[in-house]
Amino acid sequence: MTQSLPKLLTFDEFSEWYPNDGKRYELHRGVIVEMPPPSGEHEKVVGFIARKLTVEFDRLNLPYTIPKTTFVKTPSAESAYSPDVLLLNLDNLSNEQLFQKQSTVSQAASVPLVVEVVSTNWRDDYYNKLRDYVGRSPSRRVEMGIPEYWIVDYAALGARKFIGNPKQPTIFVCNLVDGEYQMTPCQGKTAIKSPTFPQLNLTAQQIFDAAN
């Protein structure tokens, strides 16, 4: 007996389906994924990063904001992600057709920087989101290309090929160069070198300590 494969959803179908049940969901290449509840440590790290970035873009008087909940719809796949920290460029939101009604953006010009704080579903951050935020389609054509993506693995949950053996808490600053991410690992007292905020005074250890 042949078992039929589950139907993959489009973003519009996902948006129409999304329930008001207090849970968080994302669309991963047409598949609905329920996001696990975050730990207290996770939320402290997210809050610390958001505060540091807010102070910096406020100091520079840049037209940015960090929303509570906004989806990033990746054009190269039927995916919709709700990042832990999403830096929005307010000046480009008038070009985003989905933002006013669905709080969704799909253009790189709207997203200077996105941050994912790694939790138990670490493969999503290291593989799926890394692939989709850069926006490469099977034809090798870049369709989105978020300029900067941080993978914040404060609890050292990722694979050893990424964070070493023994595993070490690591932050990867992924900078888009010629259509691909260059991943720069930061550990301990290594300063975070952010292309979006070149004067950012922040070390990896400061971020890790926020979890305590």
DSSP 20: -
pLDDT at position 202 over 80? yes
Q: Is 127 exposed, middle or buried (0-12, 13-18, 19+ CB in 10 A)?
A: exposed
**pLDDT value of residue 3:** 47
Dump pLDDT digits (tens) for 114-172: 999 999 889 999 998 998 898 755 454 556 799 999 999 999 999 999 999 999 999 99
How far, in Å, CA of 192 to CA of 80, rounded?
27
**13: helix, strand or coil:** helix
Q: Identify the residue with better confidence: 18 or 76.
A: 18
How confident is the model at residue 67, as a pLDDT? Answer: 96
User: For residue 4, what pLDDT band results from cuts at 50, 70 and 90?
Assistant: very low
